[in-house]
Structure 1
Amino acid sequence: MESKRQQKFAGVLQEELATLFQREGAEYLPDTLVTITKVRVSPDLAVAKVYLSFLSTNNTGLSIATVNSHAGEIRYKLGARIRHQVRVVPSLTFFLDDTNTYVEHMDKIFDKISKERKEQGKEEEEETTED
């Protein structure tokens, strides 16, 4: 459970990182839209886990690796933006947010269940009309 302080700080980081990626994200990932979906901060506010979602990319693993390789540079730019709001700029680790993939997978499962129920319902109707 995150404290209010952690949640507030995570919100500031998410907002500033989103602005940073919007303005300068093309340096790291050209022709790719990066979305900051979630930020989790450690209790001492020294470590931030940043979850990213990518649009217009075929290889998300490579995209995450690229962003992580530039984590120091991104941290420096973030520090320049939030230096008056925080004492310590947290170290950043970027992760792939696979929520969209999970949602698509669950949608497929629900569609399959729905089709099976419809087919089962039709079979039961046919059995009752034959009797």
Structure 2
Amino acid sequence: MESTRQQKISRLLQKELADIFQKESRTLFMGKIISVTTVRVSPDLALARSYISIFPSENAREVLKQIRIANPKIRGLLGRRVGKQLRVIPELEFYIDDSLDYIDKIDELLKS
């Protein structure tokens, strides 16, 4: 169970990462729409696992590779935004959240 502090930091990081992806997606990620669905912060606040949804999802793995390559730049941009609120900017890990694809798949199965 997450503490209140972890939850607050998770929401802050989710909001700021979503804004960064919105502004940087045109130049870094081939114009894909990237949304941050969830951010989970470790108890020591040193690691943030970000779950992202990529639309269109055809080349999601390639976009994820580009995001992981651009991780230091993203962390730097995040640090400039939340540096006054957090003492240490957490290390970022990115994972694909494919729950929307799963929902679509179940919906198609129910229709047939």
TM-score by length of 2: 0.93
Give the 3-state SS of the residue equivalent to 2:86 in structure 1.
Answer: coil
Contact 1:41/1:47 (8 A) holds in 2: yes
- Higher helix proportion: 1
Structure 1 segments (4+ residues) deviating >2 Å: 108-112
Percent same amino acid at aligned positions?
Answer: 38
Aligned residue pair count: 112
Greater gyration radius: 1
Give the 3-state SS of the residue equivalent to 1:36 in structure 2.
Answer: strand
Give the 3-state SS of the residue equivalent to 2:51 in structure 1.
Answer: strand
Residues in 2 aligned to 1:111 and 1:4: alpha-carbon distance in whole angstroms = 41
**Which runs of structure 2 are paired with 1:1-131 in the superposition (5 Å)?**
1-112=1-112
Q: 5+ unaligned residues in a row in structure 2: which ranges?
A: none
TM-score by length of 1: 0.80
Q: 5+ unaligned residues in a row in structure 1: which ranges?
A: 113-131
Deviation at 1:70, TM superposition (A): 0.8
Residues in 2 aligned to 1:29 and 1:42: alpha-carbon distance in whole angstroms = 27
Residues in 1 aligned to 2:33 and 2:86: alpha-carbon distance in whole angstroms = 28
Residues in 2 aligned to 1:57 and 1:106: alpha-carbon distance in whole angstroms = 17
Contact 2:21/2:34 (8 A) holds in 1: yes
Tell me: higher relative CO, structure 1 or 2? Use CA pairs within 8 A at least 6 residues apart. 2
Contact 2:83/2:89 (8 A) holds in 1: yes
Please, what is the CA RMSD of the aligned residues? 1.2
